[in-house]
Amino acid sequence: MSPAGSHPCHHDVLATIVGNVSSEVPQEKRVAWSGPTVTVVINSFNQARYLEETVTSVVAQRSQIHQIIAIDGGSTDGSVPILQRWSQYFDYCHSRPDNGQADAIRQGFSRATGDFLYWINSDDVLLPGAIERVRSVLAKDPSLDAITGWQVFINEQSRITRVRRVPAESPHWFWWGIEHVSQPACFFRRATYEEVGGLDPSLHCTLDTDLWHRMLAANKHWGQARGFLCAFRRHPLAKGSRLLDEYQRELRLLAERTPQLRRFNPRQMAGLAAYRTQQTISGQFLRDHILSVRWRGRLLGEVFPFQKSPRNE
């Protein structure tokens, strides 16, 4: 019996709808990988319009993923049936009210058994080959605590608006007030996440930024997968668009916690000037602009062809 207001994501999905996962990803193939393992948490709440694109982008990489956990906050917009359709690919899934995004992700991570953690919101997209690329980098450098990559921005129609390629994070640049981690392009060690205290459940807009700050302040070893890992969707119903006042309030709170990131702080201003100069001289800003112009308006799937999903077999 499920708790009141809770919906399990059943695993008795019709094979004719979803396909047969056993023929696509044999269990022995998933457990044979000797490198670091990754747990992916899909965080969902009332974004059915984009949810299936998110889920399929993760499921398409099931052979590289140790564990997929889907946490839905009690959606009422048709998200639950979508999760049920794909539930045989999940190691755990539920839909029930929670105390916000941070609480939902914390619930997912509490069930994680992978060496590294990653979460994706239900309006973003994991790009083809992302997990394999990340695991390859981690296997080559076992000392890494966190790893980032590049991202593209997309709109409501999944058309690319621009690209963003930034260098790896480092405690050195953080001391100068420079931090540019993009949440859907960041993977981090489970032990590191637990060591710094996990996500702050009191934050609703800057929960990810706060986590990166604590990891960087702890002098963790950051690396980079030099490739596009994700697509970050911007749309009117996104939290950053709807909760501007709350977002600004939390940014002020983070500035109190991390003084070197305060605006107009001399150290941060000097660091920002040095960083921008470095990126300009290296030609990175120009290369990103050129690539953004080349890809702008193109559908995400045209630039990054996705594997055929099991449902289309």
User: What domains can be seen in the chain, in order of their start residue?
Assistant: 1-122 (3.90.550.10), 143-181+193-298 (no CATH)
The structure's pTM equals 0.86
pLDDT of residue 29: 40
The predicted-structure confidence for 82-117, as pLDDT tens digits, reads as follows 999 999 999 999 999 999 999 999 999 999 999 999
Tell the residue number behind the tokens 């050129």, with chain if given.
Answer: 290
The predicted-structure confidence for 240-285, as pLDDT tens digits, reads as follows 555 678 888 888 888 888 876 777 788 888 988 999 999 999 999 9
* Residues whose CB falls within 8 Å of the CB of residue 11, separated by 6 or more in sequence, listed in order: 87, 88
β-strand 67-72 against 38-44: which pairing, if any?
parallel
**Looking at the predicted structure, is the pLDDT value of residue 54 above 50?**
yes
Tell the residue number behind the tokens 């983070």, with chain if given.
Answer: 254
Helices (H), the chain: 15-18, 21-24, 27-31, 48-59, 79-85, 101-110, 130-140, 171-175, 190-195, 207-217, 239-242, 244-257, 266-282, 284-295, 300-303
What is d(CA 57, CA 66) in angstroms, rounded to the nearest whole number? 15
